[in-house]
Amino acid sequence: MNRFSTLTRHRLFWPAAALVLLLCSNLFFSADFFAIRLQDGHLYGSLIDILRGSTPLVLVALGMTLVIATAGIDLSVGSVIAIVGAVACLRISNLPDQNSVGGVLAAVGVALGVALVLGLWNGILVAVVGIQPIIATLILLVGGRGIAQLITDGQIINVRSDPYRTIGAGYWLTIPVAVIIAAVVVAATVLFTRRTALGLLIESVGSSPTASRLAGIQARRLTLIVYVFAAFCAGVAGLIISSNISSADGNNAGNLIELDAILAVVIGGTALTGGRFSIAGSVLGAVLIQALNVTIYTTGIPNNVTLLFKAVVVVVLCLAQSPAFRAKVFRGRRRKSVEVAA
């Protein structure tokens, strides 16, 4: 009993349990839901689709995790996705040969460079100018959509580039390239934040910026770094999204993904007040949200109640994660059992 109680207090237990429950519930509507097959050298199946579909959100949630760890927030990631996709597709569409690997790599490099500049802009507003993070990133949230619309001239830019499409829809060694890209970025982030002092420094800035500065920690520089990193992650997500559909939509690409990213971070156990963070929890939260979307589609839940169903699941999960809520529930059960025994 004590072991189970200890297990349930782990920050990843309830998200993992909810994910398993969601996946298993699909068996009632699709008997071969867990089936994975190899066809034409590629892995196919619902689980593969969930992993590939969750990669943009995993990347955005990864960057959001470090921003939130510094007690900040980044509402502009959706606009960054739109801008990066627009820049990449615009440059590729202007290439004499859209299948030129060198030209596509140059377009990708320029697009990611733009993402870094946008992250630097957010970081300067927050760390140097001193604007509240929610206001500073709200500026780019609104203005970024306008920039994306200007780049695309209000139209959807279509490209026919096999090298570019490989980023979001290609396979390597039977595994989707998007999953490999996300895994590499996550692994590198874990390496730098958990195998070096960087993660501890970020947590100290989020726990107490004043104390960290007095301790000699360069809080402003760290804040700049996390906002640049968040924009980079959003930029990579933008490349995956736009390459998967071979087009750039400045109006709809990445729309409201910042809300799902924040939700994934919270589900993963990272507090919005800053301080300690969990990369594994954020990744699990992102996969959980994608699994929830797939489950809603599989079970045939009507579109008019989809958002309500999603909200109910999230509320139940958050309550299950709350130590205070669990303490009240179990305390009430113990009292009833004692009264019955008496």
Task: Identify the DSSP state of 128.
Answer: I
Using one digit for the tens of pLDDT, what is the confidence trace for 250-288?
A: 888 888 899 999 999 988 888 888 888 999 999 999 999
Using one digit for the tens of pLDDT, what is the confidence trace for 90-130?
A: 999 999 999 999 999 999 999 999 999 999 999 999 999 98
Half-sphere exposure of 120 (CA within 13 A, CB side): 6
Residue 167, pLDDT > 70, answer yes
CATH of the domain at 189: 1.10.3470
Residue 191: predicted pLDDT? 94
- Residue 315 counted as domain residue: no
- Residue 20 counted as domain residue: no
Residue 334, pLDDT > 60, answer no
Residue 7: predicted pLDDT? 64
Full DSSP string of 278-335: -HHHHHHHHHHHHHHHHHHHHHT--GGGHHHHHHHHHHHHHHHH-HHHHHHHHHHHHH
As a whole number of angstroms, the distance between CA 240 and CA 179 comes to: 10
Region 209-232: what's the mean pLDDT? Answer: 86
Using CA atoms, how far residue 46 sits from 49, 104, 134, 294, in Å, is 5, 30, 36, 9
- Token pair 């929890």 is found at 281
As a whole number of angstroms, the distance between CA 332 and CA 111 comes to: 56
- Residue 98 counted as domain residue: yes
As a whole number of angstroms, the distance between CA 28 and CA 120 comes to: 48
- Residue 341 counted as domain residue: no
Closest by CA position to 167, among listed 179, 178, 180, 183? 178
As a whole number of angstroms, the distance between CA 144 and CA 77 comes to: 9
- Residue 327 counted as domain residue: no
Using one digit for the tens of pLDDT, what is the confidence trace for 37-50?
A: 888 878 888 899 99
6 band by pLDDT with thresholds 50, 70 and 90: low
Tokens of 271: 């507090």
- Residue 25 counted as domain residue: no
- Residue 81 counted as domain residue: yes
As a whole number of angstroms, the distance between CA 48 and CA 186 comes to: 18
- Residue 256 counted as domain residue: yes
Cβ distance 249 to 259 under 8 Å? no
Residue 248: predicted pLDDT? 92
Q: Which range marks the domain in which residue 49 is found?
A: 30-299
Residue 258: predicted pLDDT? 93
Residue 222: predicted pLDDT? 92
pTM, entire model: 0.90
> What angle do the packed helices 279-299 and 257-267 form, to 10 degrees?
120
Q: Domain total for the chain?
A: 1
* Mean pLDDT score across all residues of the chain: 87
Residue 338, pLDDT > 50, answer no
